Amino acid sequence: MTNPLFSTYTQGENRVTSTLMAVLENINNQLAEDLLEAVLDESDTSLVTFENQLAGNGLVPDAGIRSST
């Protein structure tokens, strides 16, 4: 799911993190992903995923960046 460029968080730290994640997500290797999708004939290939405020194990980190490899 794409992160919106302009976040709705009220705390400054969360707004900055969310906006930075949205920028990184939108510039993340789009050309490489497009080429892989064409070569593999798949429409949903993702090299990197970006997520805001992941909840798990009683913790809520500000953001997560994951690689598919």
Residue 1 has pLDDT above 60, yes or no: no
CA angle 27, 31, 35 (to 5 degrees): 150
Mean pLDDT across the stretch 51-56?
A: 80
Domain ranges of the chain: 12-67
pTM: 0.50
| pLDDT band at residue 3 under the 50/70/90 scheme | low
Residue among 57, 32, 63, 60 at smallest CA distance from 46: 32
Per residue in 18-43, pLDDT tens? 888 788 777 756 777 777 777 777 77
Q: Which ranges constitute the DSSP H helices of 1-69?
A: 12-27, 30-40
